[in-house]
Amino acid sequence: MSLAQAFSPIAVRTLNRGGRILQRAGIVTPDLRQETLVAAAKHRARLEEFGRWPIEEPLDRLLSAYEREAELTTLGRITVRQLLVTLLENLLYLEQERQSAPEIEQQTIDAPVFIIGLPRTGTTLLHGLIAQDPATRTPLTWEVMFPAGYPESPDAINRIRERTDSRLAWANRLVPAFRRIHTLAADLPQECIAIMAQGFASIQFHTTHNVPSYQDWFELEAQELGYAFHYRFLQHLQARRAGNRWVLKAPGHLFGLDALLQRYPDARIIQTHRDPLKVMASIASLATVLRRAFSDSADPKQIAADWCNRWETALSRSLDIRDRWPAERFFDIAYADLVAEPLTAVERLYEFLGWPVSSQARDSMQRFLSANPKDKYGAHRYGLSDFGLDRAVETQRFARYCERFEIPVE
C-alpha cells in the first residue's frame, strides 16, 4: 500500500481522533523539537555538517510557532515533521556538495528575471509558458524538492522524478481541492518560496499553517537571509545543469522586493496585475484549504483578514521600492491581457527583455497551452462574502495600487 492510499479520509479521521486522545493524556506525537529533527536528518543523510548556514534561529522561530499557534492535528504534525526533516536533509546534502565541488562557489547568477505579483494573477501561467523556451532556465519542481544527494546521471534523475511524483501524489491525496487551485508536477517550474523554504525563510510556512509570529519575523527581519540562501541554491542548480537565462517566480517576492534587488542588482522584474478584490478571496480560499488539511482550527474569516492586511502592506512597500529603482527595470502585464492572448503577452515581454522568440519556443508554448487549459482539474469557486470581506472596505484598502496601474474591477 502506498503512503497516499494509507491516508484515506477514514484513516485520517481515525489517526487524528487517536492523536487528540493522546494529547489529552499529555502525550504529543510526533516530536517536533529542533534537536530531534536535526538528529533524524543526520541519520537519514548519514552526514553531520550543515556548514555556515544559520539554521538555528529561523528553525526555532518556526517550531515555536507550530507548537503555540498552528493547532496541528496528528496528521499535521506528521506532515510537518516529514517536511522539516527533508529540508534539513537537503541542507546536509547541499553542504556536502559545496565542499566537494569548489566550482559551485564560483557560479554567478547574472541578470535573472523575476515574475512577481499577487497570487492568482497569472504568475504561474506566465512562468510555465516561458519555461517551454529551451533557451531559458527555470527551477523545476523535482530539482527544488531534491536538489542534491544523488549523482548527475539519467538513472538517478529518473529516480528523483519518481520520488517527486510520489510526494506530490501524497499531497494531492491529502488536499484534493488544491489541484483545482494550483497544479504541481515534477517537471513543471517551481516557485521561489519553495527554494527559500529550504533555508527556513519563506512565506510558504504561513500559507500552509497558521504561524503568524514566524511570518511577522520573516517579513521584518529575514529577507536578507532568504535571498542569500536563494542565491546559494541557484548556484547549486546552475553548477549541475547550466543555464544563464534564469526566469524565476513567486508572488512572495512582493514581501522582499528590496532585499531581492539588493541581492540581484541586475535583475529585471515582471509584475502581473489583477483586481486585488478577486485575488484576496482566492488567497483566503487557498490558505483555508491547506490549513484545514492539517489543523482542526482554520477560520476562513480570520485567514482572510490576516492575509488582506499582509498583502496590502507588501504591495504598498513594493510601490515605494519601485519608485527608488529605474523604471526600465520593470515590466507590467495585466492578467486580462495574459489570459486573453498569452503568446502575444510573452512576445511583448521578450521584446522588453531583448530576447528573440524562436519558432521552437513558440511551438512549445502553444503545446503547453493546449495541454493545460484553464480549470483543467475543475473550477476554483469563491467570493468575498465567503470570507467576511466587505467590498467597499477592500476597495479602499487597495485603492493606491489600483490607481497606480489602472486596474479594472472584475
Quick one: pLDDT at residue 372?
84
Quick one: pLDDT at residue 386?
81
> Which residues make beta-bridge pairs with 333?
272
Q: Between 53 and 246, where is the model more confident?
A: 246
Quick one: pLDDT at residue 374?
73
Mean predicted confidence (pLDDT) in 330-338: 97
Quick one: pLDDT at residue 23?
55
Task: Break the chain into its structural domains and give their ranges.
Answer: 109-405
Mean predicted confidence (pLDDT) in 188-204: 95
Separation between Cα atoms, residue 174 and residue 332, nearest integer Å: 36
Quick one: pLDDT at residue 311?
96
DSSP category for residue 295: B
Dmax over CA atoms of the chain, in Å, equals 65
CATH of the domain spanning 109-405, picked from 3.40.50.970, 3.40.50.1820, 3.30.450.20, 3.40.50.300: 3.40.50.300
Name the residue type at position 386: D
Quick one: pLDDT at residue 6?
45
Cβ(34)–Cβ(60) below 8 Å = yes
> Beta strand 330-334 with 268-273: parallel, antiparallel or unpaired?
parallel
Go through 138-157 and write b for each residue having 16 or more CB atoms within 10 A of its CB, e for each that does not.
bbbbbbbbbbbbeeeeeeeb
Tell me: pLDDT of 3 over 50: no
Name the residue type at position 216: D
Mean predicted confidence (pLDDT) in 82-100: 96
Percent of the chain at pLDDT > 70 equals: 89
Quick one: pLDDT at residue 244?
75
- The whole model's pTM is what? 0.90
Per-residue confidence band for 2, with pLDDT thresholds at 50, 70 and 90:
very low
* Mean confidence (pLDDT) of the chain: 89
Tell me: pLDDT of 24 over 70: no
Mean predicted confidence (pLDDT) in 108-119: 96
Q: How many helices (H) and strands (E) does the chain have?
A: 22, 4
Tell me: pLDDT of 379 over 60: no
> Which residues make beta-bridge pairs with 113?
247, 268
pLDDT in tens, 224-235: 999 999 999 999
Quick one: pLDDT at residue 172?
72
Quick one: pLDDT at residue 178?
54
Separation between Cα atoms, residue 58 and residue 200, nearest integer Å: 6
Per-residue confidence band for 375, with pLDDT thresholds at 50, 70 and 90:
low
Q: Between 333 and 298, where is the model more confident?
A: 333
H/E element, 273: strand 268-273
Per-residue confidence band for 27, with pLDDT thresholds at 50, 70 and 90:
very low
pLDDT in tens, 272-318: 999 999 889 888 888 888 898 889 888 999 999 999 999 999 999 99
Mean predicted confidence (pLDDT) in 107-120: 96
Mean predicted confidence (pLDDT) in 201-211: 95
Q: Between 11 and 191, where is the model more confident?
A: 191
Mean predicted confidence (pLDDT) in 311-331: 96
Per-residue confidence band for 198, with pLDDT thresholds at 50, 70 and 90:
very high
